[in-house]
Amino acid sequence: MTATADTTALEFGKARVRKEDARLITGRTRYTDAITPPGTLHVAVVRSPLAHARITGIDTAEAKRAPGVHGVYTVSDLGADEVGMPCAWPITPDQKAPQRPVLAKDTVHFAGEGVAVVVARSAAEAKDAADLVEVDYDPLDPVLDMEAALAEGATLVHPDLGTNESATWVFDSGEAGTGGSVADAIAAAEADPDQVVVRRRFRQQRLVPAFMEPRSCVVDPTGEQIVIWSATQVPHILRTMTTVTLGIPESKLRVIAPDVGGGFGGKIGVLPEEMMTVLLARKLGRPVKWTETRSECMLTAHHGRDQIQDLTITAKKDGTITGLDVRLLADMGAYLGLVGPGVPVLGAFMFNAIYKIPAYRFQTTNVFTTKTLTDAYRGAGRPEATFGVERIIDELAVELGREPLELREQNWIKHEEFPFTTVCGLTYDSGNYEQATARAKELFDYDALRREQAERRERGDKVQLGIGISTFTEMCGLAPSRVLGSLAYGAGGWEAASIRMLATGKVEVITGASAHGQGHETAFSQIVADKLGVPFEDVEILHGDTASSPKGLDTYGSRSLVVGGIAITMAADKVIEKAKKIAAHLLEADEADIEFSAGQFTVRGTDKGKAIQEIAFAAFMAHDYPEGMEPSLDSDAVYDPENFSFPHGTHLAAMEVDTETGRVNLRHYVCVDDIGNVVNPLIAEGQVHGGLAQGIAQALFEEANYDDQGTLVNGTFVDYTLPSAADLPSFTTEIVSTPATSNPLGVKGVGEAGTIASTPAIVNGVLDAVRHLGVADIQMPTTSQRVWRAIQEAQGRSTQETPIDTHSPGAGLGSIDPNNPQGEVQ
Amino acid sequence: MAEVRVTVDGVNYADEVEPRMLLVQYLRERLGKTGTLIGCDTSNCGACTVHLNGQSVKSCSVLAVQADGGEVLTIEGLARDGQLHPVQAAFNECHGLQCGYCTPGMIMAAVDLLGDNPDPDEGEVREGIEGNLCRCTGYQNIVRSVQRAAQMMKPGASAPTETPAPVAGD
């Protein structure tokens, strides 16, 4: 038997097409709504049209008489008066956390909150009957503006809390001993003519995650275990939280996340609708299904971002940064989501980014309003931080009259300085900002574009060119459990894996990560194929079902590969260790003389050997195996990372702005990302593309707009302007690799990079195009109207007010023209 | 109730349906054709795109009764004789999908686009699939997939190099 390893055959690094595609391109998929056990009843939720109101009466009589209706229930009818939805992240010991009910009882706190629920034979009958439920409301004042909400005498979202402030969380490098005092740095800068102080306010608008598959949940209570299918990112967390919330023993619950149509953080929550569906299924003793409409999704699935950022940066006139102060207001919405309060806190460690900042202070004040709650959305805290720092670095460059890329380079951590402990106390293990930047400049033809920009400016071209820069880093691989513990997060950050070697030599890999588009089945198969020396096709990845993968912490925070992938690697190492003992026994050799390579166990210095498949079969037969050993190769591992990983990259955007119309055109986008070693370049590139699209959409297109009554006015796909293919160009993306030293695969994570980096690159580029006209800032999204208005105002011309800057007011079905909210014909 | 007679993926059906039933609901709820997906309620997302009498339609914008006497092709009937349609194969080869939710509609729209324009440039592909939303891919690899499919569908073009994913039941 030969054991020559063909290095060209390595799976790691190969652009494999995805194995999960086979079912997805042929329609053989099973998204949750396709699952309909016999006898399934359907749920429709009656939702509040008002943002803030007392419920004075609910009349369900007519709905109950409607055809096909099995029942109409309020929260009391469900026996759920005391049930509160979980928040797993008390960021401070005295964080104010109102009880979020399954259905509103006395008061509704945001438009879209559930008030009653109808169960009927068909979804159509349920919806028909839901329209017959009469709810009487006594309107209360909405609470919409964060600063007004914190002012004395403000209307309280939850009067029993006595305040609209949920919590204030502070990090101060002076107090933590990781750096100097920023108050001292600011005082010193103000007193020193050779230093500058730049203060800016930025706004992170509210966004809708807008995964393509609306949320759905099916509960079958008829077996010994209650089976919950849910369109969730977090089946394991959902199981535990269902126990915590409803008191059903965890052992009586099986949660399945079948094919899941995207998440982006938007499916990280544990939903009132999920708990409601469990309660209804148990009450009725039949399978029950809830599937939302897109409009319900826009209105009630958690939103993302929504921060006001007050930043102060100080620097010497030679460009050396001396301090950064960050004060955030973060809109929680009406209640706290599962990890919502911690989202701004995740940003606390990233405002210092790739820069050597000697003094740093971060403060977030989390505020309640009568809006849809906010929680994780792709990047969760880190896009907000990256936007803030990359915007203010550009502002500092303007103040100092410096080339913005040079100013960055002057302050960033040099590649020879790694590992580097930041002012937040995180240790960046590796990176090479010079390499990524040099390559990005080359691909972008940076100098030529700067020349074109100057030339256009000189001749007063109506279309001006701006160059946007973002040199970002992020912390990925959430997360070392001890760090999470120190932040009072309600769980660990480990991931679990198991490997089963089947009798025929095929391999089942069980992971606690739960894919919803990331390509885990392919990437994990590649890792295992290399580790065990088996064919890629022989590896099956099992996930998303607590019956087959009982232990896990699911998928978010770019953790699947960096944490879950390492757990799989460790389980594979254990399989090899066990197999080595059996191989030594069968080959009548000393275990120390057994070598393993490319799936072959060989005795050093001989041609004797056995393939791993033969060992698996021998273990299965169990006729002949070593004393004191169990006849099995199967192995489990749980990996708890020691540190985060820190991907980084340089993103450059060429933005054209028509100064007469305000129209913004993304002409060219280049990014070079350092994501460490790459398992599958095809998948990694796809993650970057998608991330870019979402980050660019924040900069240019998207915003969840509320009117002065607290109504979401663009809660459909007609007027919430998700970019289409025609709205985006092709991107130039490249990957460079400085391997992570914090894990054995050298991987860093890629899921969020594009989103985190791209938003400030675009906005910096738009501003760079019009700064010479006197424009200092434009809020996101930088729509034509806003850009035009900013130019007009900078030129001292007056513009007409419009109440809300929706992107395409009055465009069609379901949309509201802010100038004509009642829709009168004019 | 209204009667509808329709051929879907080569099978003839005769059913009584509520006049208000949408074609997508008929496909999913009555025929079990759950490969065709619903992503919105305003006919914007295109996840439900199928072909009706050879033209791509958003099946959320067609009543089941409007399909009476017609022929419907869904994503589930696109592969023939165990062979993926070139557009399906190209989406696999070019990583034109991630979560897969927009994919059935996107593929059906792309097949129709290539019927009208067998050799679209990038801009024509982007305009041509504008009615189908995707949140995962940033569209870049979808555009590549459609252009790759166009190459593969040219007369005399060779089969894709990678072995295409197997079709169920084959």
Give the model's confidence band at A721: pLDDT under 50 very low, under 70 low, under 90 confident, else very high: very high
Q: What is the pLDDT of residue A173?
A: 98
- Which residue, chain included where needed, has tokens 């509320």? A706
| Count of C-beta atoms within a 10 Å radius of residue B80 | 10
Which residue in chain B has the smallest CA separation from A814? B42
Contact state of B130 with A725 under an 8 Å Cβ cutoff:
yes
Contact state of B135 with A690 under an 8 Å Cβ cutoff:
yes
Q: What is the pLDDT of residue B167?
A: 52
Rg (CA), chain A: 28
Chain A residues with CB under 8 Å of B141 CB are 685-686, 689
Give the model's confidence band at B157: pLDDT under 50 very low, under 70 low, under 90 confident, else very high: confident
Task: Evaluate whether A211 touches B40 at the Cβ level (below 8 Å).
Answer: no
> Please, where are the H alpha helices in A13-80?
21-24, 61-65
CA distance B14 to chain A (A): 21
Which among B97, B130, B143 is the nearest to A21, CB-wise? B97
For the segment A805-818, the average pLDDT, to the nearest whole number, is: 42
Task: Evaluate whether A368 touches A98 at the Cβ level (below 8 Å).
Answer: yes
Calpha distance A770→A792 (Å, rounded)? 11
CA distance A696 to chain B (A): 10
Which among B36, B125, B136 is the nearest to A517, CB-wise? B136
Which residue in chain A has the smallest CA separation from B28? A34
Secondary element (H or E) of residue A494:
none
| Count of C-beta atoms within a 10 Å radius of residue A607 | 9
Calpha distance B113→B93 (Å, rounded)? 19
Which among A34, A260, A689 is the nearest to B138, CB-wise? A689
Q: Which residue, A354, A423, A353, A347, is CA-closest to A383?
A: A347
CA A568 to centroid of chain Cα atoms: 23
Whether the per-residue pLDDT at A274 is higher than 50: the answer is: yes
Q: What is the pLDDT of residue A104?
A: 98
User: How many residues appear in chain B?
Assistant: 170
Range name among A179-188, A740-749, B155-164 with the lowest pLDDT average: B155-164
Q: What is the pLDDT of residue A656?
A: 98
For the segment A138-158, the average pLDDT, to the nearest whole number, is: 98
Fold of A451-470+645-826: Aldehyde Oxidoreductase; domain 4 (3.30.365)
Contact state of B138 with A260 under an 8 Å Cβ cutoff:
no
Contact state of A17 with B97 under an 8 Å Cβ cutoff:
no
Task: Evaluate whether A597 touches A531 at the Cβ level (below 8 Å).
Answer: no
Give the model's confidence band at A7: pLDDT under 50 very low, under 70 low, under 90 confident, else very high: very low
Contact state of A693 with B43 under an 8 Å Cβ cutoff:
no
> Looking at the domain that runs over B86-153, which CATH code has it been given?
1.10.150.120
Whether the per-residue pLDDT at A101 is higher than 60: the answer is: yes
Distances in Å between the Cα of A236 and the Cα atoms of A271, A276, A340, A612 are: 14, 18, 18, 32
Cβ-Cβ contacts under 8 Å between A and B: the total is 192
Q: What is the pLDDT of residue A820?
A: 44
> Over the stretch A598-614, which tens digit does the pLDDT of each residue have?
999 999 999 999 999 99
Q: What is the pLDDT of residue A803?
A: 55
CA distance B139 to chain A (A): 6
CA distance B147 to chain A (A): 13
Contact state of B138 with A690 under an 8 Å Cβ cutoff:
yes
Contact state of A731 with B138 under an 8 Å Cβ cutoff:
yes
Q: Which parts of chain B are beta strand (E)?
A: 2-8, 11-17, 49-52, 55-58, 71-73
Instruction: Write out the DSSP string of A348-414.
Output: HTTTTTTB--SBEEEEEEEEE-SS--B---TTTTHHHHHHHHHHHHHHHHHHHT--HHHHHHHHBPP
Calpha distance A735→A671 (Å, rounded)? 8
Class of domain A7-28+494-639: alpha beta
Give the model's confidence band at A816: pLDDT under 50 very low, under 70 low, under 90 confident, else very high: very low
Chain B residues with CB under 8 Å of A214 CB are 38-39
Which residue in chain A has the smallest CA separation from B22? A124
Calpha distance A748→B47 (Å, rounded)? 33
> Over the stretch A219-234, which tens digit does the pLDDT of each residue have?
999 999 999 999 999 9
**pTM, entire model:** 0.95
Which residue in chain A has the smallest CA separation from B87? A25
Contact state of B36 with A683 under an 8 Å Cβ cutoff:
no
Which residue in chain B has the smallest CA separation from A812? B42
Which residue in chain A has the smallest CA separation from B107? A25
Q: What is the pLDDT of residue A729?
A: 98
The complex's ipTM works out to 0.95
Q: What is the pLDDT of residue B156?
A: 82
Task: Evaluate whether A542 touches A548 at the Cβ level (below 8 Å).
Answer: yes
CA distance A262 to chain B (A): 5
Which among B38, B45, B75 is the nearest to A26, CB-wise? B75
> Over the stretch A326-364, which tens digit does the pLDDT of each residue have?
999 999 999 999 999 999 999 999 999 999 999 999 999
> Looking at the domain that runs over B2-77, which CATH code has it been given?
3.10.20.30
Which residue in chain A has the smallest CA separation from B79? A26
Q: What is the pLDDT of residue A800?
A: 76
Contact state of B127 with A214 under an 8 Å Cβ cutoff:
no
- Which residue, chain included where needed, has tokens 């998948």? A683
Whether the per-residue pLDDT at A236 is higher than 60: the answer is: yes
Contact state of A517 with B99 under an 8 Å Cβ cutoff:
yes
Fold of A144-206+302-400: Aldehyde Oxidoreductase; domain 4 (3.30.365)
> Looking at the domain that runs over A38-140+216-291, which CATH code has it been given?
3.90.1170.50
Chain B residues with CB under 8 Å of A262 CB are 98-99, 101, 135-136
Calpha distance A381→A38 (Å, rounded)? 43
Q: What is the pLDDT of residue A799?
A: 81
| Count of C-beta atoms within a 10 Å radius of residue A665 | 14
Distances in Å between the Cα of A93 and the Cα atoms of A89, A541, A713 are: 10, 40, 36
Which residue in chain B has the smallest CA separation from A813? B42
Task: Evaluate whether A706 touches B107 at the Cβ level (below 8 Å).
Answer: no
Contact state of B18 with A124 under an 8 Å Cβ cutoff:
yes
Q: Which residue, A639, A646, A649, A640, is CA-closest to A669?
A: A649
Task: Evaluate whether A747 touches A677 at the Cβ level (below 8 Å).
Answer: yes
Half-sphere exposure of A437 (CA within 13 A, CB side): 21
Whether the per-residue pLDDT at A705 is higher than 50: the answer is: yes
Whether the per-residue pLDDT at A2 is higher than 80: the answer is: no
CA distance B141 to chain A (A): 7
Give CA torsion, residues A598, A602, A608, A610, to 10 deg.
Answer: -60
Contact state of B40 with A722 under an 8 Å Cβ cutoff:
no
Chain B residues with CB under 8 Å of A19 CB are 165
Selected residue of A14, A19, A20, A21 to mutate for chain B interface (largest B Cβ count, 10 A): A21
Q: What is the pLDDT of residue A817?
A: 45
Chain B residues with CB under 8 Å of A294 CB are 39-42, 45
Selected residue of B22, B75, B98 to mutate for chain A interface (largest A Cβ count, 10 A): B98
Which among A261, A294, A682 is the nearest to B99, CB-wise? A261
* Residue A464, helix vs strand vs coil: strand
* Residue A489, helix vs strand vs coil: coil
Contact state of A689 with B137 under an 8 Å Cβ cutoff:
yes
Task: Evaluate whether A497 touches A571 at the Cβ level (below 8 Å).
Answer: yes
Q: Which residue, A34, A545, A544, A547, is CA-closest to A289?
A: A34
| A427 DSSP β-pair partners | A421
Task: Evaluate whether A258 touches A228 at the Cβ level (below 8 Å).
Answer: no
Contact state of A726 with B130 under an 8 Å Cβ cutoff:
yes
Chain B residues with CB under 8 Å of A724 CB are 126, 129-133, 139
Q: Which residue, A46, A38, A108, A50, is CA-closest to A77?
A: A46
Which residue in chain B has the smallest CA separation from A696? B138
CA distance B69 to chain A (A): 24
Does this chain's domain A144-206+302-400 share its CATH topology with A451-470+645-826? yes
> Over the stretch B46-62, which tens digit does the pLDDT of each residue have?
999 999 999 999 999 99
Q: Which residue, A422, A437, A431, A427, is CA-closest to A355?
A: A422
Selected residue of A16, A25, A232, A813 to mutate for chain B interface (largest B Cβ count, 10 A): A25
Task: Evaluate whether B115 touches B139 at the Cβ level (below 8 Å).
Answer: no
Whether the per-residue pLDDT at A254 is higher than 50: the answer is: yes
Q: What is the pLDDT of residue A823?
A: 39
Q: Domain locations in chain A?
A: 7-28+494-639, 38-140+216-291, 144-206+302-400, 451-470+645-826
Q: What is the pLDDT of residue A3?
A: 42
Task: Evaluate whether A470 touches A757 at the Cβ level (below 8 Å).
Answer: yes
A507-511/A495-501 β-pairing = antiparallel
| Count of C-beta atoms within a 10 Å radius of residue A100 | 19
Q: Domain locations in chain B?
A: 2-77, 86-153
> Over the stretch A410-428, which tens digit does the pLDDT of each residue have?
999 999 999 999 999 999 9
Calpha distance A528→A191 (Å, rounded)? 60
CA distance A26 to chain B (A): 6
| Count of C-beta atoms within a 10 Å radius of residue A626 | 13
For the segment A798-817, the average pLDDT, to the nearest whole number, is: 51
Calpha distance A660→A679 (Å, rounded)? 47
Chain B residues with CB under 8 Å of A25 CB are 75, 84, 88, 91-92, 97, 100, 103, 107, 165
* Residue A473, helix vs strand vs coil: strand
